[in-house]
Amino acid sequence: MSVEKNNDWPQLIASAQQGYHNAYAPYSKFQVGAAAMTEQGTIVSGCNVENASYGLTVCAERNCIAQAVIQGQQTFSSMVVYTEQEKLTPPCGACRQVIAEFFAPEAQVMAVNHLDNRKVWTVAELLPDAFTPKNLLEQ
């Protein structure tokens, strides 16, 4: 599916931008915002939250998903990751694994920046042959 065919992108981008402005990134100065559309049509946003003990930092994508789970929603149709970097920022490996847990393989993830550069991947493109709950259920 191309970017133009998803009517939710403008709302998701705006929510991801809002998340970006709430990011807590005093160490890296690398702010990230994310927003996801649940299957129920709710938009949930998140931001990265750093910690002086660097390993405890939580990415925007995982914060976004966690916010939705807290609200009782566990399935998603699309996600936007927003930064103000000239080079688009895709989800990190840990986030790709968490995305694969809650999004269908054909769900879309977009990276967008302040210059309105965009790239869209399916979850399967971001993490081919992902280990998912189906692997645990199949005997």
**Is 86 an active-site residue?**
no
Instruction: Provide the 10 A C-beta neighbour count for residue 125.
Output: 13
- 4 dihedral zone (left: phi>0; alpha: psi -120 to 50; beta): alpha
Tell me which H or E stretch contains 21.
Answer: helix 9-22
The one catalytic residue among 61, 84, 101, 106:
61
Residues taking part in catalysis: 61
